[in-house]
Amino acid sequence: MINFTESGFEQEVLKSDIPVVVDFWATWCQPCLKITPILEELSVEYDGKVKFGKLNIEDHQNVATKYGVLSIPTLLVFKDGEIKMQIVGLQPKKKIIKKLSEVL
């Protein structure tokens, strides 16, 4: 998984030629820490089809604010530079896969 930054967000996410799942998180957020292994598994399963990465909201508040992230964890799925889906809160792997299938 990639650690997205404010400076690289446009290139890594908005200009990506494949869909991107951005996990908005913080180090103190327990549900965020619990969703990480799920996303790591998915990043392997969807390798080459979907890019997965994390964006720490404390280090990159401007990006979180720009996309209206009010609670974490929040997963935003970008495709062709636009948000196609939002998943808020800790979700089971099956639910995330189902939501991703709607975008792909």
User: Which residues belong to the active site?
Assistant: 29, 32
In what order do the strands lie in the sheet containing 74-79? 2-3, 51-56, 20-25, 74-79, 82-88
**How large is the angle between the packed helices 93-103 and 30-45, nearest 10 degrees?**
50
SS3 (DSSP) at 45: helix
Which residue reads 């609670």 in tokens? 71
